Amino acid sequence: MTIKPLAMGDTIPDFQTTDETGQDYSSKSLRGSPVIIYFYPRDNTPGCTLQACDLRDNYEHFLKIPITVLGISGCSLDSHQKFKTKNSLPFPLLLDEDHRIAKSFGVWGEKKFMGKSFEGIHRTTFVISKTGNILKTYLKVKPSLHSSMVLEDVRNLRF
């Protein structure tokens, strides 16, 4: 199955979830300010940790724009809490244990690792306007280059 992530101009789908503290988030609550939503496969894996820490290390630059940063994976509440605490992450990690949000954004699908196929989240980032439209989609994100690439682009976007 080929994944088909949302693209520039698409409106984000309706969703509701909570973060690792229990705070509610929805597609409607995100309206009014620009948002970066980054989907990542799993808490505490090398690539996902590198990506999250890279965003953490550049978080102050995102705040100055200002733009909200949100991470989403299919991990549990307990996993998100430990991952956030262990890595001192300053941004919310949203829950998507049933993968409904990942599927609606088109980032859930077949993956291959060490010759095995399985279903999972494809590392993908979306920059979303104040009105809920996708301004930019980043596919096959490289964790170590992620935040600098996104930061450079969002500095030049009109929200």
Q: Chain-wide mean pLDDT for the chain?
A: 94
Mean pLDDT for the stretch of residues 92-105: 97
Q: Is residue 54 part of a domain?
A: yes
Q: Is residue 3 part of a domain?
A: no
Question: What does the pLDDT look like over 50-78, one tens digit per residue?
Answer: 999 999 999 999 999 999 999 999 999 99
Count of domains observed in the chain: 1
Q: Is the pLDDT of residue 140 over 90?
A: no
pLDDT of residue 96: 98
CATH number for the domain that contains residue 55? 3.40.30.10
Task: Yes or no: say if 105 and 39 are a contact pair by the CB < 8 Å rule.
Answer: yes
Q: Is residue 121 part of a domain?
A: yes
Mean pLDDT for the stretch of residues 88-110: 97
Task: Yes or no: say if 95 and 84 are a contact pair by the CB < 8 Å rule.
Answer: no
Q: Is residue 9 part of a domain?
A: no
In the sheet with 68-73, reading across from the earlier edge strand, the strands are 93-95, 68-73, 35-39, 124-128, 134-138
Categorize the per-residue pLDDT at 2 as very low, low, confident or very high, splitting at 50, 70 and 90: low
pLDDT of residue 61: 96
Q: Is residue 105 part of a domain?
A: yes
Q: What end-to-end distance do the CA atoms of the chain give, in Å? A: 33
Categorize the per-residue pLDDT at 40 as very low, low, confident or very high, splitting at 50, 70 and 90: very high
Indicate which residues carry an active-site annotation.
48
Categorize the per-residue pLDDT at 113 as very low, low, confident or very high, splitting at 50, 70 and 90: confident
Q: Is residue 2 part of a domain?
A: no
Task: List the domain range (segments joined by +) for residue 75.
Answer: 16-154
